[in-house]
């Protein structure tokens, strides 16, 4: 069925957006603004592809993508949390560095056949018409994305550690006065965000298009950043927003395939135009935005000040 095939591609296109945005959501909840999601995604993609190609196992590739993203995020953490560098400038530099390093590392991998991560069918449930193939016959990264949304939502709003992390994001000075480990917590949040970005990158090179293409993240890291604001820093809203943006991305591809009389450049720009429109709409409701935005977001913290 054509509709089923379209929905399958929407899910595949949405998964990396959801995972990357979820990692950034946790990072921002701790009060750190990391604009380097794009760079961590592309590093995760090239390392996952290279590791899967060398080992023959896509699961080793997934692990390599996660570790690469987390390791790359440590560079951001060291510069912004230890050396107290500007978070916005450092995040932008991280993206540029990631794009450059990935191009250099992946130069010899262009055109090499990839190792695809095969779907895992859940017995009985996978046989349900339409719903089964969509949700119960997917790759392990899709299942991880749903588990991460549930887990992060529980962690942030039901656990004591999540309460401490949100307290640090809302007022790092008060949290430090109460004895909470601000820097350590933020390092862990940054590493989690990097690991999620690396996992999202692994999905791109092992599932979405099982090959290595330079700059294959194609701006998805920036969409993930917009998704966090769109979702008002709420995991379940982020899941819905991720699938909405994924649908827009796939919709423009099918519109071109069906020969709709619009310039291909305009259709290709639709996902990014939708991002801008959503952010403009959100910015009009300043009260809601201010209530949900972590008060210490992007602000440096030095304990002895």
Q: Where are the domains of the chain?
A: 2-292
Place of tokens 């890291």: 221
Residue 137: its H or E element? strand 137-138
Spatial distance between the Cα atoms of 217 and 158, rounded to a whole number of angstroms: 33
Q: Does domain 2-292 have CATH number 3.40.50?
A: no
Widest pairwise Cα distance in the chain = 63
Other C-beta atoms closer than 10 Å to the C-beta of 278 total 17
CA distance 188 to 296: 17
What is the full per-residue pLDDT of the chain (305 aa) written as tens digits?
A: 677 777 888 899 999 999 999 999 999 999 999 999 999 999 999 999 999 999 999 999 999 999 999 999 999 999 999 999 999 999 999 999 999 999 999 988 888 888 888 888 888 888 888 888 888 889 999 999 999 999 999 999 999 999 999 999 999 999 999 999 999 999 999 999 999 999 999 999 999 988 998 889 988 999 999 899 888 899 998 998 889 888 887 777 666 666 666 666 666 677 777 777 777 776 666 666 667 789 999 999 988 65
pTM: 0.92
Tokens 């590392």 belong to 105
């Amino acid at each position: 069925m054509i509709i089923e095939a379209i929905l399958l591609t929407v899910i595949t296109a949405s998964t990396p957006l959801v995972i990357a945005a979820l990692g950034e959501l946790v990072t921002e909840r701790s009060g750190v603004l990391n604009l380097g999601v794009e760079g961590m995604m592309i590093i995760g993609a090239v390392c996952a592809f290279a590791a899967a190609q060398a080992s023959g196992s896509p699961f080793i590739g997934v692990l390599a993508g996660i570790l690469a993203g987390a390791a790359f995020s440590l560079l951001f953490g060291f510069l912004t949390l230890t050396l107290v560098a500007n978070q916005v400038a450092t995040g932008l530099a991280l993206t540029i560095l990631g794009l450059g390093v990935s191009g250099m590392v992946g130069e010899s991998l262009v055109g090499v056949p990839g190792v695809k991560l095969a779907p895992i069918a859940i017995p009985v449930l996978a046989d349900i018409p339409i719903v089964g193939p969509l949700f119960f016959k997917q790759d392990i990264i899709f299942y991880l994305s749903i588990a991460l949304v549930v887990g992060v939502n529980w962690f942030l709003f039901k656990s004591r550690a999540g309460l401490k992390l949100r307290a640090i994001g809302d007022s790092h000075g008060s949290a430090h006065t109460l004895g909470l480990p601000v820097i350590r917590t933020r390092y862990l949040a940054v590493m989690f965000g990097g690991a999620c970005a690396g996992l999202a990158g692994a999905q791109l090179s092992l599932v979405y298009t099982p090959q290595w293409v330079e700059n294959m993240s194609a701006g998805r890291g920036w969409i993930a950043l917009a998704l966090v604001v769109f979702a008002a820093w709420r995991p379940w809203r982020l899941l819905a927003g991720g699938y909405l943006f994924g649908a827009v991305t796939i919709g423009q591809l099918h519109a071109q395939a069906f020969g709709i009389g619009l310039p291909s450049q305009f259709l290709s720009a639709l996902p990014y135009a939708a991002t801008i429109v959503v952010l403009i709409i959100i910015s009009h409701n300043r009260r809601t935005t201010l209530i949900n935005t972590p008060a210490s977001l992007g602000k440096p913290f030095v304990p002895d000040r």
